[in-house]
Structure 1
């Protein structure tokens, strides 16, 4: 009888604490968020995923932060990273012909700080635009890298463009900061010898990979290429052959298990696509397997804790 009672107690304790352990382990599972805009730049939207394939909108696809900066008061291309203290930092395109980028921070992605303009290109006379800023946080030296695409007239040899691009000839520029109060001088970030926009970085196995959109129009490219180096700047200017189809933009890298996914905006067909790789050399197109909220435009993907997602769902 005593043996039976002892056995039953053991089973009950295992069920109780084992279940709690299993629950805790489930709670520790990484989840993923995707920041994006809709329309011409209506504000910050968020979607989540647990597998990197199916993305569901949060807050009924409503806006978490509405833009108030810039000539056009837009919020396009929202890029978000989280620092080692848990704060989220976001930069975005404030307008079609502005010379600065927008910035705000948040502890929970719900309540945001005052929106501020970072005048990154104001010292470069005649700068046409400041597009698609991306923020990357390098944990090694606790430094933020903010990089974007701008056209400075006559700064580089002209490339053939179509008339609807208004003669823009982009290169990537950047600043660094540790606190979003003091910034380095603006410098050239990447010049591959062609018009380039939409840079994005991911770190994997002690290497940094820079994904960019080749904006060449004649012959038509409009595709994603990649280069890599041992630090998050001074990337080799020699890029890979195209790793995506043409007429895509806004590459957003994300590590999901053994794969690195690159999501991109198929802006002509108004839907999202993706490729993935295990070795960063061979890429598999999985566009037919991913799903995003209707109307999703150029954003970024990042990892968060289950607690962050739980608060967003409330």
Structure 2
């Protein structure tokens, strides 16, 4: 959440007008299926808002760290009431094994516009969304931001926790519900004596964990409770932050059951990196920051939520929405930077930037050799990465033999990491694509090359 603008995010989906059924109190047999993958629900923004979209976006991941946007990173649903936009969508699994989506009713950056409503959808498997409605949470003239949902077994109801300015201070309120159509009266859920924002709640082993942003100092913290009841939480971690600012904690239990991740959103679209930590024990106080080399969030992602899904659900999402028709080239030794074109030149720049499509490439069979690959610009169709005088540039394909050869590369195991990729020139086969001073070029590289040179020539080809 942007503290300076009091921003908050939540997500929503557009869908058909089927009425939602009631929520079963007992999980059905299908609920026992093992989660083997993850889904991330989010909205998008970029520095000059060229990539801003306030509908529901979905991405999937097998390992929980490297993400593939679905539907070409276009929304899979959009709100049809309220502000007609959402921020910070929260996707959750109901007790009957189906899904729900709930999101802040706020489009764009008009953070002074207060709404007492949340967007709500139902979904069988996230391949379609039904029962769209607005759910009124309170009657206060203040915001209703960044909802999170958890199952309160003692009550036999769901708790909907969200950020609200109550009595002049930012706190978390809670409403309880059985059907996401009617809710109990709001009550204060967490008010530690300083302003808080962006709560995420996970119940594990009889303990309810609440991670949040402390607005007084800008750090993320974890609190826990043995009951999950309002005003029963005790903060147990130190403050966490990476980058210049952090918000929107996303607490994720690994499907293997061997540890946890914590994701944090940066402060604004101008600096919309995501950062991540890991721990082997959620009950401990030690979180280790992950190297950005180890994870790749969805393109242009802002806030949202992450949930474990089954293999069948993963396959269904990919089949229904499709995976990107483009790739990005992420640097091994500068993992916040991606290959992009600008002014006809090819270089490595820190993401985010606009036009964000400068970093998107259609990887096609090599123009000179189908066993190789060529990279066509998404936003300058017909133009390809090619070397000229050993320097990489973006030029229109003139269909000459020289151009086709200059624009063809052979993908090999990464010179610095075999799990990544290096790109060997087709017509200068001793040379590899690499960056030098952030410029892209081809240089001779081999077994005698320095570790730094091999890193410069190693990339992750990622959506």
Interval containing the TM-score (normalised by the shorter chain): 0.7 to 0.9
The reply to whether residue 309 of structure 1 matches residue 305 of structure 2 is no
Q: Superposition pairs for residues 6-85 of structure 1, below 5 Å?
A: 30-39=36-45, 42-70=54-82, 72-85=83-96
CA distance in 2, matches of 1:304, 1:115: 22
The reply to whether residue 208 of structure 1 matches residue 222 of structure 2 is no
Alignment-derived partner of residue 286 in structure 2: 282
The reply to whether residue 102 of structure 1 matches residue 99 of structure 2 is no
1:130 positional shift: 1.1
CA distance in 1, matches of 2:63, 2:263: 13
CA distance in 2, matches of 1:262, 1:238: 16
Alignment-derived partner of residue 252 in structure 1: 250
Q: What's the C-alpha RMSD, in Å, of the aligned pairs?
A: 2.0
CA distance in 1, matches of 2:55, 2:228: 28
Alignment-derived partner of residue 121 in structure 1: 138
CA contact (8 A) 2:121 2:132 kept: yes
Structure 2 length as normaliser, TM-score?
Answer: 0.55
- Deviation per CA, 1:11-66, whole angstroms, max 9, x where unpaired? xxxxxxxxxxxxxxxx9561111111113552111111111211111222121111
Out of 70, 81, 87, which is 2:98 matched to? Answer: 87
Alignment-derived partner of residue 381 in structure 2: none
1:140 positional shift: 6.4
Gapped runs of 5+ residues in structure 2?
A: 1-32, 46-51, 320-463
Q: Computing the radius of gyration over CA atoms, which structure comes out larger, 1 or 2?
A: 2
CA distance in 1, matches of 2:179, 2:208: 22
Structure 1 length as normaliser, TM-score?
Answer: 0.79
- 1:118 to 1:138, Cα distance in 2 relative to 1, 3 A: same
CA contact (8 A) 1:41 1:76 kept: no
The reply to whether residue 187 of structure 1 matches residue 198 of structure 2 is no
> What number of residue pairs does the alignment pair up?
266
CA distance in 2, matches of 1:63, 1:55: 16
- 1:81 to 1:226, Cα distance in 2 relative to 1, 3 A: same
Structure having the higher helix fraction is: 1
Out of 291, 301, 323, which is 1:296 matched to? Answer: 301
